[in-house]
């Protein structure tokens, strides 16, 4: 009988049948329920549906996972939020319930979630506590969480409650307003909070200086940072659904400054065309469909180089090829891509050497910033691999100079690099509130000057221009999200010869403008203005002619 059950039930279901806690039909009902509640464990559903004696269920669960059981009392001996942040208790289903000396007893609904247990263990260790791990029933811990959510001010210190709520509100507001970063900045007489939204820093609020220490203490607590340390630290917050938050602190003359980078876990990468790349199959194929070569995306920090590389990877990805990335850090998880993260004992050169022994077809190197990485990447591009990477330069042609200055020979540059792409991110006009705009005389003169410098004729007669207004949808900014402007240099045979012969970038630029499809960054920017996507003020902020 049990053999047939094993063939169709999960192991814990079999165990419960053996113990006489459940029948075959009850197990089927649990599995059916689980289809619509995939976040719940088997035993949690048994508990929720009240299918058997609670004590026997807990005993069987504890024996199965080899963790000491505890049935939580209604009145705990300690105040759990004095030891763990309230949001961590709620989201991790973990509850401190007793203290003996410096050993804190913590009950988990799911103590097999190793990452969460480790995170709590490290947090409590930093506070000077040892931890004893217990398992309890899901309904039991949820009842305690309900009590915590509705707890009166007499149960929790008012200031702790207010600061916890304030920090949580700031983070939730940042998420709702699409901020990429939160800046917590101690100043001489206040604590300033700013969000970076679509590339711009916006002051959200300012707190009294007297609240600085308790605010930063709370931030350190939920970021798993050492409370007593005031020099530079890195931490993380993982208690917000669908978001991973990287935290960095740095001491300045007024205290400790914090920057929180908000990364969406289930971020759906946008296609190259959605990012603003020319929607032209011929250009895309000529730019990226390469072998035995190297493609470099160039831009200053914060201009979307990594996002573009991710979109290129998605464009190139096929079931039959092996793609490996080396990043510092891994910002987005890519399905089907083997992603390697740089760490204390892993450098770009060391990781790249190992990756080349992993039979890759395409290698993404997050950034080339030194001669050693550049040389290995060039060699990889010459031995059958397609290498994608980024460097910091002002435009696509100056990438040649940057690579040369890293000690790479002109021959190796010309033999390996196939495409260089420069980009900037400009704010996109809000589609909900933008209004028609007529070019002013000064704007016409500016575009005419660009046309003269670039030798490009803009179609002003068919222009469809708009200007920002501001509405509830875009938080009264007039812009919503950002779009890339691009400059693409595909190396033809003549460009390769010029590089090999050591020609200057001035000569290469002149040839490219006169004889290839190469167009400077500002040309794409103005064309996006004339098509109603952005504004000339945005282009002027990012590109100098």
**CATH classification at residue 200:** 3.30.450.90
**Average pLDDT of the residues in 515-542:** 95
Same domain, 320 and 337: yes
Confidence of residue 141 (pLDDT cuts 50, 70, 90): confident
- pLDDT attached to residue 10: 60
Boundary residue ending a domain (129, 149, 169): 149
Same domain, 331 and 417: yes
Boundary residue ending a domain (22, 40, 65): 65
CB environment 445-472: b (16+ within 10 A), e (fewer): ebbeebeeebeeebeeeebebbebeeee
Boundary residue ending a domain (149, 177, 193): 149
Same domain, 277 and 256: no
- pLDDT tens, residue by residue, 355-370: 999 999 999 999 998 9
Same domain, 98 and 130: yes
Same domain, 169 and 50: no
- pLDDT tens, residue by residue, 54-108: 888 888 888 888 999 998 877 787 888 888 877 778 878 899 998 988 899 999 9
Same domain, 396 and 319: yes
Whether the model clears a pTM of 0.85, i.e. scores above it, the answer is no
Supply the range of the domain harboring residue 176: 158-264
- The percent of residues in the chain predicted with pLDDT above 70, rounded, is 94
- Domain tally for the chain? 4
C-alpha span between 524 and 520 (Å, rounded): 7
- pLDDT attached to residue 433: 96
Query: What tokens appear for 141 in the block?
Result: 């811990």
- pLDDT attached to residue 115: 79
CATH of the domain at 284: 3.40.50.300
Confidence of residue 269 (pLDDT cuts 50, 70, 90): low
* Distant-in-sequence contacts of 539-544, Cβ < 8 A, 24+ apart: 539/426, 539/485, 540/446, 541/426, 542/424, 542/425, 542/426, 542/485, 543/424, 543/485
- pLDDT attached to residue 384: 86
With CA atoms as reference, report the closest residue to 310 among 333, 343, 293, 292.
333
Same domain, 390 and 536: yes
Same domain, 483 and 400: yes
Same domain, 56 and 73: no
Same domain, 368 and 256: no
Same domain, 16 and 115: no
Residue 216 gets the label, from left (phi > 0), alpha (psi -120 to 50) or beta, of alpha
Same domain, 84 and 193: no
């Amino acid at each position: 009988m049990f053999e047939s059950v094993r063939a169709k039930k999960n192991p814990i279901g079999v165990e419960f049948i053996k113990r006489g806690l459940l029948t075959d039909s009850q197990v089927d009902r649990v599995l059916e329920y689980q289809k619509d509640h995939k976040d719940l464990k088997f035993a949690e559903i048994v508990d929720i549906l009240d299918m058997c004696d609670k004590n026997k269920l807990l005993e069987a669960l504890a024996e199965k996972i080899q963790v000491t059981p505890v049935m939580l009392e209604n009145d705990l001996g300690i105040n759990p939020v004095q030891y763990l942040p309230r949001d961590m208790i709620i989201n991790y289903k973990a509850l401190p319930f007793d203290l003996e000396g410096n050993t804190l007893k913590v009950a988990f609904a799911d103590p097999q979630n190793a990452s969460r247990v480790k995170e709590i263990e490290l947090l409590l260790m930093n506070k000077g506590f040892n931890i004893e791990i217990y398992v309890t029933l899901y309904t039991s811990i949820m009842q305690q969480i309900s009590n915590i959510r509705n707890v009166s001010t007499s149960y929790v210190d008012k200031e702790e409650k207010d600061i916890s709520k304030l920090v949580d509100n700031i983070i939730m507001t940042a998420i709702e307003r699409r901020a990429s970063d939160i800046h917590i900045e101690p100043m001489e007489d206040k604590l300033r909070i700013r969000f970076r939204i679509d590339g711009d820093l916006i002051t959200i609020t300012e707190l009294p200086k007297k609240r600085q220490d308790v605010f930063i203490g709370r931030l350190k607590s939920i970021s798993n940072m050492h409370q007593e340390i005031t020099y530079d630290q890195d931490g993380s917050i993982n208690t917000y659904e669908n978001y991973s938050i990287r935290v960095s602190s740095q001491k300045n003359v007024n205290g400790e400054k914090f920057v929180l980078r908000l990364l969406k876990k289930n971020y759906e990468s946008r296609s190259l065309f959605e990012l603003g790349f020319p929607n032209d199959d011929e250009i895309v194929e000529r730019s990226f469909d390469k072998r035995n070569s190297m493609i470099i995306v160039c831009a200053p920090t914060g201009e979307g180089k990594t996002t573009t590389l991710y979109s290129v990877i998605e464009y190139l990805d096929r079931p039959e090829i092996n793609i490996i990335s080396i990043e510092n850090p891994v910002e987005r998880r890519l399905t089907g891509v083997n992603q390697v993260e740089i760490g204390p004992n892993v450098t770009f050169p060391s990781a790249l050497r190992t990756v080349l022994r992993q039979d890759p077809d395409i290698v993404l190197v997050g950034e080339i910033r030194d001669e050693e990485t550049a040389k290995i990447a060039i060699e990889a591009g010459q031995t059958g691999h397609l290498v994608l990477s980024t460097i910091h330069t002002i435009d696509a042609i100056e990438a040649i100079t940057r690579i040369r200055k890293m000690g790479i020979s002109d021959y190796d540059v010309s033999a390996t690099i196939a495409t260089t792409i420069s980009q900037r991110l400009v704010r996109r006009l809000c589609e909900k509130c933008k209004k028609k705009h007529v070019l002013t005389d000064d704007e016409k003169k500016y575009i005419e000057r660009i046309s003269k410098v670039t030798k490009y004729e803009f179609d002003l007669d068919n222009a469809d221009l708009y200007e920002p207004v501001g509405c509830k949808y875009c938080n009264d900014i007039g812009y919503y999200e950002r779009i890339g402007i691009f400059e693409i240099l595909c190396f033809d045979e003549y460009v390769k010869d010029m590089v090999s012969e050591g020609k200057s970038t001035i000569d290469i630029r002149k040839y490219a403008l006169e004889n290839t499809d190469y167009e400077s960054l500002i040309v794409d920017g103005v064309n996006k203005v004339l098509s109603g996507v952005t504004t000339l003020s945005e282009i002027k902020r990012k590109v100098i002619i």
